[in-house]
């Protein structure tokens, strides 16, 4: 009897211990890798449905979108968050872009964006110039020479690397005073982003670049309302530094883009236009390993792409290309739920990485945008449609 009671006691203790062990066993991901960040968003949206023009239709306009830091891993996360759909899914032709620079296996946005803008690789920290600091001219310069209109619309401050890759020339991306002064010479018809301070109060040389550009004929807009009323040529600086984060700026980026396309289209007639639209801040939040803010930026960029595709489908003579300058954050999608729109991710670092990034194309000529190419070759291919 005593033995029987002891056995029952022992079994009970064994059961209790096993229960505790099972309850405390960590998830496999926690045991073998970094802690995952989980995220889901309320702000999901329907994607647009568009019919592509005939592949051999004449290309008059080129709209080139760059998601800074937007690798396939970032796109995959956004796709899950929006319950398995993105406007990017509309783009029938895809390729891969190798992003290394002449100086580094891991590119920065200066060299990565310059290769796309000018069709030639350069060294890290160089914007719009080769490693010997000789200026290189971008697809926007080519378009201007052919009498087309041009535009740049970004969410960052205008001294950040990507817009400068298209408009400025310097071997040090942090020579902000000199780089911003280049906008007075770039001839771009529609310039919109943030960074008012870099044009005036933050300058060491006392110049007021906004006033200089006004003297050259630019119509300056400091608010969204002013931008919507401004006529070409436009300089819109809508924040002292970067634009507010996606969650706070509402449809500002989409509205800037719509205004750009309408004004350039109206002014360019049959000659057409070339515009670079950047989802600049995706990269910033990946550097900060902030999955929520990075994804809200990417989803805003994709919503803007939806607007662009609808505009291009109505136009019938517009090539649309989307890519990234590099991927950022060594992001991995390790868990989640497609039905719930939930992702479980880990960051491997707080800088860039060297994985090839996707290229997407839509519209006449898009059928040539396939295969694996250097970033500079993709830039040259886009420029070949500017004629």
**Shortest distance in whole angstroms from residue 162 CB to Zn ion:** 10
**Shortest distance in whole angstroms from residue 85 CB to Zn ion:** 27
Site track for Zn ion across 234-273, x = CB under 5 A:
----------------------------------------
Give me 142's structure tokens. 């080519």
Site for Zn ion contains 283 (CB under 5 A): yes
**Shortest distance in whole angstroms from residue 353 CB to Zn ion:** 11
Interface stretch with Zn ion, choices 74-82, 245-253, 265-273, 280-288 (CB under 5 A): 280-288
In the complex with Zn ion, the residue whose CB is nearer, 189 or 283, is 283
In the complex with Zn ion, the residue whose CB is nearer, 283 or 307, is 283
Query: 52, 109, 125, 138: which one is catalytic?
Result: 109
Interface stretch with Zn ion, choices 38-46, 96-104, 167-175, 278-286 (CB under 5 A): 278-286
In the complex with Zn ion, the residue whose CB is nearer, 283 or 377, is 283
In the complex with Zn ion, the residue whose CB is nearer, 283 or 297, is 283
**Shortest distance in whole angstroms from residue 123 CB to Zn ion:** 16
Treating both helix axes as pointing N-terminal to C-terminal, what angle do 291-315 and 72-81 enclose, rounded to 10 degrees? 90
**Shortest distance in whole angstroms from residue 283 CB to Zn ion:** 4
In the complex with Zn ion, the residue whose CB is nearer, 19 or 351, is 351
**Shortest distance in whole angstroms from residue 112 CB to Zn ion:** 9
Put the strands of the sheet holding 37-40 in their side by side order.
Answer: 37-40, 342-347, 331-337
Which residue number has the CB closest to Zn ion? 283
3 state SS for the chain? CHHHHHHHHHHHHHHHHHHHHHHHCCCHHHHHCCCCEEEECCCCCCCCCCCCCCCCCCCCEEEEEEECECCHHHHHHHHHHCCCCCHHHHCCEEEEEECCCCCCCCCCHHHHHHHHHHCCCCCCCCECECCCCCECCCHHHHHHHCCCEEEEEEEEECCCHHHHHHHCCECCCCCHHHHHHHHHHHCCCEEEEECHHHHCCCCCCCCCHHHHHHHCCCEEECCHHHHHHCCCCEEEECCCCCCCCHHHHCCHHHHHHHHHHHHHHHHHHHHCEEEEEEECHHHHHHHCCCHHHHHHHHHHHHHHHHHHHHHHHHHCCEEEEEECCCEECCEEEEEEECCCCEEEEEECCCCEECCCEEEEEECCCHHHCCEEEEHHHHHHHHHCCCC
In the complex with Zn ion, the residue whose CB is nearer, 283 or 290, is 283
**Shortest distance in whole angstroms from residue 271 CB to Zn ion:** 35
Interface stretch with Zn ion, choices 85-93, 195-203, 283-291, 296-304 (CB under 5 A): 283-291
Give how many residues touch Zn ion by CB under 5 A.
1
Query: Of residues 199-228, which lie at the interface with Zn ion (CB under 5 A)?
Result: none
Interface stretch with Zn ion, choices 116-124, 228-236, 282-290, 299-307 (CB under 5 A): 282-290
Largest Cα span, the chain = 104
Interface stretch with Zn ion, choices 136-144, 233-241, 277-285, 288-296 (CB under 5 A): 277-285
In the complex with Zn ion, the residue whose CB is nearer, 165 or 283, is 283
Measured distance CA(38)–CA(33) in Å, rounded: 15
Q: Is 384 a catalytic residue?
A: no
**Rule CB under 5 A: which residues touch Zn ion?**
283
Where in the sequence numbering do the catalytic residues fall? 109
């Amino acid at each position: 009897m005593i033995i029987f009671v002891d056995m029952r006691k022992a079994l009970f203790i064994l059961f209790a211990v096993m229960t505790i062990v099972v309850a405390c066993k960590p998830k496999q991901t926690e045991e073998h890798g970094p802690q995952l960040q989980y995220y889901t968003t309320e702000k999901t949206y329907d994607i647009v449905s568009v019919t592509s023009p005939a592949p051999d239709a004449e290309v008059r306009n080129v709209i080139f979108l760059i998601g800074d830091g937007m690798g396939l891993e970032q796109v995959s996360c956004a796709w899950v968050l929006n319950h398995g759909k993105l406007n990017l899914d509309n783009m029938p032709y895809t390729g891969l872009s190798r992003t290394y620079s002449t100086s580094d296996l891991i590119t920065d946005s200066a060299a990565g964006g310059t290769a796309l803008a000018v069709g030639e690789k350069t060294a890290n920290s160089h914007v719009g110039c080769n490693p010997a600091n000789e200026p290189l001219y971008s697809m926007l310069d080519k378009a201007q020479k052919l009498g087309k209109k041009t535009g740049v619309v970004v969410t960052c401050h205008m001294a950040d690397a990507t817009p400068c890759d298209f408009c400025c020339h310097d071997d040090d991306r942090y020579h902000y005073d000199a780089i911003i002064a280049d906008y007075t010479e770039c001839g771009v018809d529609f310039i919109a982003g943030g960074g008012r301070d870099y044009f005036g109060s933050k300058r060491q040389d006392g110049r007021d670049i906004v006033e200089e550009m006004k003297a050259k004929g630019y119509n300056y807009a400091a608010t969204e309302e002013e931008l919507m009323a401004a006529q070409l040529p436009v300089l819109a600086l809508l924040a002292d530094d970067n634009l507010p984060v996606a969650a706070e700026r509402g449809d500002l980026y989409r509205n800037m883009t719509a205004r750009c396309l309408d004004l350039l289209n109206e002014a360019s007639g049959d000659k057409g236009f070339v515009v670079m639209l950047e989802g600049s801040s995706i990269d910033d939040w990946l550097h900060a390993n902030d999955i929520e803010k990075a994804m809200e930026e990417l989803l805003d960029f994709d919503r803007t792409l939806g607007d662009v595709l609808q505009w291009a489908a109505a136009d019938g003579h517009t090539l649309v290309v989307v890519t990234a300058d590099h991927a950022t954050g060594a992001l991995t999608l390790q868990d989640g739920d497609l039905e719930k729109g939930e992702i479980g991710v880990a960051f491997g670092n707080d800088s860039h990485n060297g994985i090839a990034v996707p290229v997407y194309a839509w519209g006449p000529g898009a059928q040539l945008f396939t295969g694996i190419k250097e970033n500079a070759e993709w830039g040259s291919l886009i420029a070949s449609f500017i004629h």
